[in-house]
Structure 1
Amino acid sequence: MPYLVHTAHAQFAALWFGTVGWTLVIVTVGLVEWRVWEVSDLSVITSGLAWVGIWRVCFYSHAPILSDSQIMFCQRIRLSESFTPPEIAAAQVLMLVALILGLAGNASVVYGLRNVYFGLNQFKPIRLAFTSGGVLLILTGASALVPVCWNLSSVVNNQTISFPAEFRMPSAPANQSIGPGIIVGMFASILLRLKKHIIFHILYIIVSPLCPAF
């Protein structure tokens, strides 16, 4: 298949962008440092900083609120809780959707590349695999980008969260800034968008010789 040589670099780039982008989505989901709250009252949050993620709220403290096995105080944010703001509730759902869509999109692309490398050059399977992979990665990037941008907007506007008393969090931060979770999420969305463009480029190059001439 002579056209395979011309797409080798693009295929490698697509696999790299997709794998790294999807891995960063996983990292984003796990990070607690989406929003960094600076607090003025250091009686409980002795470090002066609290981290608000999409699943947990955590901070270091020297106050007698930690057990012997704890190194920081954390409370879980549940989707069903009435205090959970819409941007965090949306992030809990959409980031998991992004993980599933990203896995399916990468699998579809790998299947398409397998057909190309093993000489299974039927037009329909290759076209379907790359088209499905590209569409799934568009949806993956959008599913990750929406909650990331929404939480970024909340940080910029210094929006508050009415945490319950057991969270030991103030009603409002003195200041807040973006954390690594938002930064990594933005980078993951960019990589997934780049992979989408490369996939459609590969699709055009690979399947065009297979298209019947009219």
Structure 2
Amino acid sequence: MPYLAHTSHTQFLGLWLGTIGWILIIVTIGLVEWRIWEVSDLSVITSGLAWVGIWRVCFYSHAPILSGREIMFCQRIHLTESFTPPEIVAAQVLMIVSLIFGLMGNASAIYGLRNIYFGLSKFKPIRIAFCSSGVLYILTGVTTMVPIFWNLSSVVNNQTIVFPQSFHMPSAPINQYVGPGITVGIFASSMVVCSGLVFLSYRVPVVLEPEVRPSWPGEGCSGNRSQGINNPAFLTQENI
């Protein structure tokens, strides 16, 4: 079905866009640099900067209480800890949900494109697959944007986190900065939302079957063969 395949090139690009955005969401989940804290006490955090992510807190230090040489010291942020702020709790949950939605959206988009490029003539599975992938991609972007912008708001308002003493972190920084985790997350969520809109905008083309077929000699519009009539131009005087 070459004509149908020619109409899905934009959706093929949308699949690539959604897949790249989904991979960037995975990168965002793994990054610790969501919020960058600038601290004044350099006795433990010798670099003066600490990174607050949704899964752990890290900083460089060569303090004797940690090690004799400069190392990266990290502590895990657990979902059920009493000090964990709501924006980080929401991020831990929603980012995993967005990861699942994105995987399902990729699978649905691949199924729809498979039906097109392998020449399957049923339009209903294609419409369902593309609509499903569009909705799933948009849900992926929304569930990513909520924790991203919530943490962005916390950076802008310079909100504090009362860490336990074992974290060796101050409860309040001098300044907070937006880290690469938030930046990559915004870019990734925008990509998957655009991909979802591409799939939702797909319309199955109207394929018209040819109605013209060769007619038999003497066959009229009704489809019945009629008696042939001689052309008078070829009649001889004798026939006339």
**TM-score (normalised: structure 1):** 0.92
User: Would the aligned equivalents of 2:34 and 2:180 in 1 still touch at CA under 8 Å?
Assistant: yes
Encode CA deviations 1:154-190: one digit per residue, 9 max, x unaligned.
0000000000000000010000000000000000011
User: Would the aligned equivalents of 1:35 and 1:176 in 2 still touch at CA under 8 Å?
Assistant: yes
Paired residues in the alignment total: 207
Indicate how the Cα distance of structure 1 residues 43 and 67 shifts in structure 2: closer, same or farther if over 3 A, else same: closer
Please name the residue that 1:128 is paired with. Answer: 128
After superposition, the CA RMSD in angstroms is 1.7
Structure 1, unmatched stretches of 5+, are: none
The 2-side partners of 1:88 and 1:173 are apart by 17
What is the DSSP-based 3-state SS (H/G/I as helix, E as strand, rest coil) of the residue aligned with 2:61?
coil
Question: Is 1:72 matched with 2:72?
Answer: yes
What is the DSSP-based 3-state SS (H/G/I as helix, E as strand, rest coil) of the residue aligned with 1:177?
strand
Please name the residue that 2:158 is paired with. Answer: 158
User: Would the aligned equivalents of 1:122 and 1:210 in 2 still touch at CA under 8 Å?
Assistant: no
The 2-side partners of 1:68 and 1:117 are apart by 61
Please name the residue that 1:174 is paired with. Answer: 174
Whichever residue aligns with residue 73 of structure 2, its letter is F
Structure 2, unmatched stretches of 5+, are: 209-240
Indicate how the Cα distance of structure 1 residues 199 and 70 shifts in structure 2: closer, same or farther if over 3 A, else same: farther
Q: Which has the higher contact order (CA 8 A, sep 6+)?
A: 1
Whichever residue aligns with residue 142 of structure 1, its letter is V
What is the DSSP-based 3-state SS (H/G/I as helix, E as strand, rest coil) of the residue aligned with 2:42?
coil
User: Would the aligned equivalents of 2:83 and 2:161 in 1 still touch at CA under 8 Å?
Assistant: yes
Cα distance, 1:71 vs. partner? Answer: 2.7
Please name the residue that 1:4 is paired with. Answer: 5
The 2-side partners of 1:7 and 1:108 are apart by 14
Encode CA deviations 1:97-154: one digit per residue, 9 max, x unaligned.
0000000001000000000001112121111111111111111000000000000000
127-136 or 90-99, larger mean C-alpha shift: 127-136
Cα distance, 1:94 vs. partner? Answer: 0.1
The 2-side partners of 1:81 and 1:70 are apart by 28
Indicate how the Cα distance of structure 1 residues 38 and 130 shifts in structure 2: closer, same or farther if over 3 A, else same: same
State which structure, 1 or 2, has the greater radius of gyration over its C-alpha atoms: 2
Please name the residue that 2:217 is paired with. Answer: none
Indicate how the Cα distance of structure 1 residues 70 and 18 shifts in structure 2: closer, same or farther if over 3 A, else same: farther
**TM-score (normalised: structure 2):** 0.83
